[in-house]
């Protein structure tokens, strides 16, 4: 039963991550699918946990940079 659960999480997480990667090229909500897929895969794979942390850091930096741009535009 545990093996079935592990495989189901791996397959579903992989599919969601793949959809997110496809949405990087095609129009779609990649910013939602990629972290969800990585989060699911991180339950079973330490490498996915590393990638999820990198994605979170990148997203945080991008959000902070965009906040700065918006603040500058509001002042002008």
Where along the chain do its domains lie?
Answer: 2-75
Side-chain-side CA neighbours of residue 32 (13 Å): 3
What local confidence, expressed as pLDDT, does residue 15 receive? 96
Residue 2 reports pLDDT greater than 90: no
pLDDT per position as a tens digit, 34-45: 999 999 999 999
Q: In terms of pTM, does the model score above 0.85? A: no
Q: How far lies 29's CA from each of 20, 47, 70, 74, in Å?
A: 7, 23, 22, 27
E-only strand ranges, 1-76: none
Residue 74 reports pLDDT greater than 90: no
């Amino acid at each position: 039963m545990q093996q079935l659960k592990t495989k189901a999480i791996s397959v579903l997480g992989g599919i969601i991550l793949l959809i997110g990667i496809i949405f990087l090229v095609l129009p779609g909500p990649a910013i939602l699918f990629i972290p969800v897929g990585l989060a699911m895969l991180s339950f079973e794979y330490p490498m996915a946990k590393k990638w999820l942390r990198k994605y979170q850091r990148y997203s945080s930096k991008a959000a902070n940079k965009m906040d700065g741009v918006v603040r500058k535009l509001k002042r002008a």
